[in-house]
Amino acid sequence: MFKYILKRLGISILILFGVSLILYILLRAMPTDFVQQKIIALNTTGATVTDEFIQAMKESYGLADIPIVGYFKWLGNILRLDFGKSFISQREVLSEVFDGGRIGTSFTVAAIATVFEFLIAIPLGITAATHQYSIRDYIVTVLVLVGISLPSFFFGQLLKDIFSNKLHWFPVSGMQTPGMSQTGIALFFDRLWHMFLPILTVVILSIGGRMRMTRTNMLEVLNADYIRTARAKGLNERVVIYKHAFRNTMIPLVTGLAGLIPSLFSGAMITESVFDLEGIGSYALNAMTQGDIPVIMTYNMFLAALSVLGVLLADLMYAVVDPRVKLA
């Protein structure tokens, strides 16, 4: 096991190196960079911008070199644990990304939504599979189509219009009631009140895929020979479903662990923008639109490292879920 983990960690380093190279080249290939946007803003004010000024700005932001040279300079700084400064705020990137409660906000929304997603999607997927072509199955299918089809910006705005603007049950935006200095339990419930609609949006739009996966895998397992044998032996139906059938559907669910860990920290970009949450997702989206390369690179490499960790944990969990899997 230990040898396997060391081998996977070595491979992970190579993967992160390749991901960072591709990301940097793609960012430098964007139609407009941060300096060009600054120049456009100056031109709209009627200011005269010389070529010397443009070159000086590119050098100050590290954009004067060709992409491959700029990448190795960035990589050298990263190896010295220097993640640079944000182009926009001129603050250290680590402070920009990890301070200010952005990751905490995104993690809270994603973690609560993930818990409810599993609690709702898996039982619904099981009941749809065990009652195939029944009313339950058709209702679950409709929910799956809703969850997969609705865009987050549309559904979020719809919920906000109904429950915030018309019914006034929940706040329109933000994480806390402005002008109120609350602490303790009052602050907790105030933030929970503000986060209800964003969490509801994420849950409803995410349960569709999980339900469909659970239903499909359960249907495949329920048609297996060993399930028919278990029923023929007179085992209780709940034992057949939850002890024998469901356990064999765990492997695809464990595979989802690889994407679950980075999703907890990446933030729901569109949902956070709709509800004006100061999360890491909306912050990264703003950095992307303005070409803030140090912030974007740090954010994406953080998620890439979490993805690699998620894949490793998923591989280790295979041996726990299925004793037939041997790691070497």
Global pTM exceeds 0.85: no
Cα 283 to Cα 205, 270, 277, distances in angstroms? 22, 11, 9
Residue 282 structure tokens: 């909306």
pLDDT in tens, 199-245: 888 888 888 888 888 888 888 888 888 888 888 888 888 888 877 78
pLDDT in tens, 105-122: 888 888 888 888 888 888
Which band of pLDDT confidence, cut at 50, 70 and 90, is reported for residue 328?
A: low
Q: Centre a 10 Å sphere on the Cβ of residue 141 and count the other Cβ atoms it contains.
A: 16
CA angle centred on 256, ends 251 and 262, rounded to 5°: 150
Return residue ranges of the chain for CATH 1.10.3720.10.
103-278
Contacts of 307 (CB under 8 A, 6+ apart): 258, 259, 261, 262
Contacts of 31 (CB under 8 A, 6+ apart): none
Cα 274 to Cα 38, 197, 200, 264, distances in angstroms? 27, 11, 13, 18
CA distance 28 to 34: 10
Residue 1 structure tokens: 């096991």
Cα 192 to Cα 113, 181, 188, distances in angstroms? 12, 16, 6
Q: Domain 103-278, what architecture?
A: Orthogonal Bundle (1.10)
